[in-house]
Amino acid sequence: MPTRARARRLLALPLATALSATAISTGGLVMGSTQSAANAELSRREHKIHHAVQIARRQIGEPYVYGANGPGAFDCSGLTSYAFHRAGLRMPRTSDAQYDRVRHIRKRNIRRGDLVFFHNGGGVYHVAIYLKRKHGDRIILHAPYPGRTVQRDPIWTRSWWAGTLRKRHR
């Protein structure tokens, strides 16, 4: 015998299916369709950001070359512009132009796929892709400098800003 909660879910299923069918047959013109469209856009953008991280991760081990934007060699902003462009998101070529393009967020709100911009009190001099927290450290993926390769590292300074290509939730 089903529980009351399960019975309610079973009864609600045909209604949800009918509403979905109505949204499809009417081109989405049912109450809440604007919200559904916004959620779908967020979902597509989230997927592209996730894909950009995967593309960047595949570049681990490629050499740093100043001015290079892949494939085969990268500088810091070349790596980020390459990964996001390949994932279907527009991204300028240089780190300062990328900083101007993104939505600035608080450090505490940074999520996987967001960007970390290193600064010297004035201008941006380096950019990386945020991956995760590990043992209290924030881990980034970047092309560090000549003689090194694309790699993961902990953030080494407090002089950084966070930015995202995610849309604001309304």
pLDDT level of residue 41 (50, 70, 90 thresholds):
low
- Mean pLDDT of the residues in the chain: 85
Task: Indicate the CATH number for domain 36-164.
Answer: 3.90.1720.10
pTM of the predicted protein model? 0.76
Active site residue 104: no
Given 76, 119, 135, 169, the catalytic residue: 76
pLDDT level of residue 58 (50, 70, 90 thresholds):
very high
Q: For the chain, how big is the Rg over CA atoms in Å?
A: 21
Given 51, 119, 126, 169, the catalytic residue: 126
How does strand 103-105 pair with strand 137-142?
Answer: unpaired
Active site residue 142: yes
Give the pLDDT of residue 59: 98
Which tokens in the block code for residue 141? 């993926």
Active site residue 76: yes
Residue 165 neighbours by CB distance under 10 Å = 21
Percent of the chain clearing pLDDT 70 (strictly above): 75
